[in-house]
A and B are shown apart, each in its own frame.
Chain A
Amino acid sequence: MDVVRFVERHEVPKKFVLVVGLPDVGLVGVVAASHLVSSLRLKEIASIESELFPPIIVLHEGVPKSPARVFSSPEIVVIVSETAIPANAIHPLADSIVNWASQKGARLVVSVGGMAVQNRQDIEKPKVFAAVSDKSLSKSIRDAAEVLGEGYIVGPYGLILKRCAEMGLPAITLLTQAFYNYPDPEAAAAAVLALNKILDLNVDVSELLHKGEEIRLRAKDVMKRTQAEMAKMNKSQEYDIPPLYG
Chain B
Amino acid sequence: MEKAKRKAVFDVVDEYLRRAETMAERMFASGWNEVASSIEPLSNIFVGATEVVVTIDLPYCDSESVKLKIIDEDTLEVYAKTRQMIKLDDFGIKHRRGEFSCFHTVIHVPVPVNEEGISSKLKRGVLEVRLPRAI
Q: In A187-239, which residues have CB < 8 Å from any B CB?
A: 212-214, 216-218, 220-221, 223-224, 227-228
Number of residue pairs A-B, CB distance < 8 angstroms:
46
Interface of A is mostly: helix
Q: Decide if A53 is an interface residue (CB 8 Å cutoff).
A: no
Min CB gap B62→A, angstroms = 12
Q: Are A218 and B123 in contact (CB under 8 A)?
A: no
Q: Which of A82-90, A140-148, A160-168, A178-186 contacts B (4 or more CB under 8 A)?
A: A178-186
Chain A interface residue number, banded:
20 to 34
Interface string of B93-135 (1 = CB under 8 A from A): 0000000000000000000000000000001111010000000
Which B residues are CB-close (under 8 A) to A212? 59, 125
Known: A180-B44, A182-B42, A221-B31. A216 touches B59 (CB 8 A): yes
Cα distance A223–B59 when bound, in Å? 14
Known: A179-B126, A182-B126, A216-B57. A224 touches B44 (CB 8 A): no
Contact of A121 among B30, B46, B128 (CB under 8 A): B128
Interface size, chain B (Cβ < 8 Å): 19
Known: A181-B44, A216-B57, A216-B59. A221 touches B126 (CB 8 A): no
Listed residue (B31, B44, B91, B124) with the most chain A CB atoms within 10 angstroms of its CB: B124
Which B residues are CB-close (under 8 A) to A217? 39, 59-60, 86
Q: Are B42 and A218 in contact (CB under 8 A)?
A: no
Known: A181-B42, A221-B31. A120 touches B124 (CB 8 A): yes
Q: Give the B-binding residues of A (Cβ under 8 A).
A: 118, 120-122, 179-183, 186, 212-214, 216-218, 220-221, 223-224, 227-228
The 3 closest A-B pairs by CB, nearest first: A213-B59, A182-B57, A216-B59
Given contacts A121-B55, A220-B31, 10 further A-B contacts (CB under 8 A): A179-B57, A179-B126, A182-B57, A183-B57, A212-B59, A213-B60, A216-B59, A218-B91, A220-B39, A220-B57
